[in-house]
Structures are given as structure tokens and as C-alpha cells.
Amino acid sequence: MGALPPEKLLPDSQPTYVASWIYVFGVATIASLMVIIGSGVILSLKGPAWWHFTGIGHFFNSIHLWSVELFFFFMVIHLWGKYWMAAWRGGRSRVWVTGAITFIVAVPAALTGYVSQQNFDAQWIATQAKDGLNSAGVGAFFNVTNFGQMYSYHVLLLPAAVIVLVIAHVLLVRKHGVVPPFELDERLASSPTAPDAAAPASGAQRASS
Amino acid sequence: MIGGGVLAAVFNLNHPSHVVHWHFIQLSVSNIVVIGVMLAIFALAILLPFPGARRRAQGRR
């Protein structure tokens, strides 16, 4: 609570360097995740017969699929951007690690969705994944051809893990601030009295300015 | 359904996917297109100016 007082959780200002398109992909990823969760809740309420055999069911099925595609699309560009700006600088290693783990957990979250479709596509993906997972020695722990098991992984366990990780990731970004460009970091190191040095990079601190 | 029919006429998906195979790398053409679009958007995100960025930077000085 000391590091993240509730009144400072939402930013009302950002450092000047955040005015770049490369900084929008994290928010775009979260926006996609919200659409995924909303459409997923509707799909889970209605069930496979609805999403396969009704027009509105097809619509929400497609919304769910394409929001997942956008989620990974934006998340990978966000990852590239943060990798090339070495976003773990300045004590931000936990921000980087939570983001990387989110990516790793999101992959089986999507896979279990593909095998939960209840169609031939799902059967094909499940049997292909089964061979791959068995060859990696993890097939004893779960069975991708078991719809009930994969569906509960997909609608509960893995989304819960992704949501918790994303919340931790965002809170850590709020605590440490958005990573500054290399030039600003160097300028701050060489000239601690420079005008920008007076304004800390931390978004949480800047929010009050 | 009309929209779906038009799209189906533009994109005929009723065939096996086209695959590019180079040594051990095997990618569908659709995945290569998506990766290309991601790289293009990544480059544009770095190169294109953000609306109001210059004004904000001048205001700081």
C-alpha cells in the first residue's frame, strides 16, 4: 500500500517519452484480454451447441477467436519493443519476468481453447498436441484429448493465472514506471541536475505531478 | 450471411493450406503473412510520429 497508494493506481499523466506508438501495444494487449474474457464468459454460459449452431453463437465464437489473435499479435509486438529497449533496466526485472511468464501461460490457455471447440479442428489439434506433449514427457500429467479436463483448464485455471499475472505486471509497471529511453537514462546518469532528472521516471510518482 | 458469402468468394479456404518449407522450418503462408504484418507494424510504431509528441516535448523545455 505504501508503494502503490490506491489514489495513484491510475495515471493522470505520463513521462514525455511515452508519447510514441511503441508504448500502446501493452494497453492494446490488455484491451484484447478484456474482450476475450467478456466473450468467453458469454460462450461458457451458452455452451457448444449455441456457439456451433446459432448465428449469434457464431458471432461470439468469432469475437472470442479474433480477440485471441489480436491478443497474441499485440503481445508479441509489445515483447519485441520491450526487448529492444531492455525494459528490465532500473530495477524492473520483476516487470519483465511477470510479462514473460504471462506469455508462457497464455500459450496453453489458447491451446486448450483450440482443443475445446468441439469440432474436427479441435480433434486434429488435440491429437497433434498429444504427440508433442508426450514426446516432451509431460503427457502423464494431463490429457489434451480429454475435453472436460481441457475445458476446465481453459475457462478457469489458465485464465485465472493469466489475469493474476497481468494484474501483477501492471501493478509493477505502476510501481517502477515505464522504462525510459537509453538516451534519457544516460543523460540522467551524466547530469543529475538536468531538468528531466527532477522528474523521476516512475509513472506512479509522476501521476501526482 | 451475405457478408460471409462475399468473403468466401474472395478467400477460397476450401483447400489444404499453402506451406513454405525450408530445411527444418515449415510455415504456412498465412502465418508468414501475419508475421510480416507484425514486423511492419513494429517498424511503423517506431518510425511514425505520435500525435502531439512534439508539442509535449516542446512544452517540457
Contact A106, A37 (CB under 8 A): no
The per-residue pLDDT of chain B, averaged, comes to 84
Query: How many CB pairs (< 8 A) connect A and B?
Result: 36
Examine residue B29 and state whether it is found in any structural domain, yes or no: yes
Comparing CB atoms, the residue among A21, A22, A77 nearest residue B38 is A77
pLDDT recorded at residue B2:
54
Q: Is residue A97 located within the same domain as residue A162?
A: yes
Q: How many domains does chain B have?
A: 1
Q: How many domains does chain A have?
A: 2
The per-residue pLDDT of chain A, averaged, comes to 88
pLDDT recorded at residue A81:
95
Q: Look up the CATH number of the domain holding residue A128.
A: 1.20.810.10
List CB contacts (< 8 A) between B48 and chain A: 21
| Residue contact B60–A16, C-beta within 8 A | yes
| Residue contact A19–B52, C-beta within 8 A | yes
Cα–Cα distances in Å, from A5 out to A22, A120, A206, B39?
28, 50, 13, 38
Q: Is residue A47 located within the same domain as residue A100?
A: no
ipTM of the complex: 0.80
Examine residue B37 and state whether it is found in any structural domain, yes or no: yes
Q: Is residue A105 located within the same domain as residue A139?
A: yes
Examine residue B14 and state whether it is found in any structural domain, yes or no: no
Contacts (Cβ under 8 Å, ≥6 apart) of A108: A153, A158
List CB contacts (< 8 A) between A81 and chain B: 42, 45
Higher pLDDT, A2 or A129: A129
Examine residue A12 and state whether it is found in any structural domain, yes or no: no
Q: Is residue A138 located within the same domain as residue A169?
A: yes
Range of the domain at A93: 86-179
Examine residue B7 and state whether it is found in any structural domain, yes or no: no
Question: Does B1 have pLDDT greater than 70?
Answer: no
Q: Is residue A32 located within the same domain as residue A98?
A: no
Q: Is B48 on the interface with A (CB under 8 A)?
A: yes
Range of the domain at B39: 20-50
**DSSP 3-state of A131:** helix
Contact A25, A81 (CB under 8 A): yes
Question: Does A87 have pLDDT greater than 50?
Answer: yes
The average pLDDT across A81-105 equals 95
User: For the packed helices A55-84 and B29-47, what is the interaxial angle rounded to 10 degrees?
Assistant: 50
d(CA A127, CA A145): 7
Question: Does A202 have pLDDT greater than 80?
Answer: no
**What are the grid coordinates assigned to A111, written together?**
491451446
Examine residue A203 and state whether it is found in any structural domain, yes or no: no
List CB contacts (< 8 A) between B60 and chain A: 16, 195-196
Examine residue B35 and state whether it is found in any structural domain, yes or no: yes
Question: Does A2 have pLDDT greater than 60?
Answer: yes
| Residue contact B42–A80, C-beta within 8 A | yes
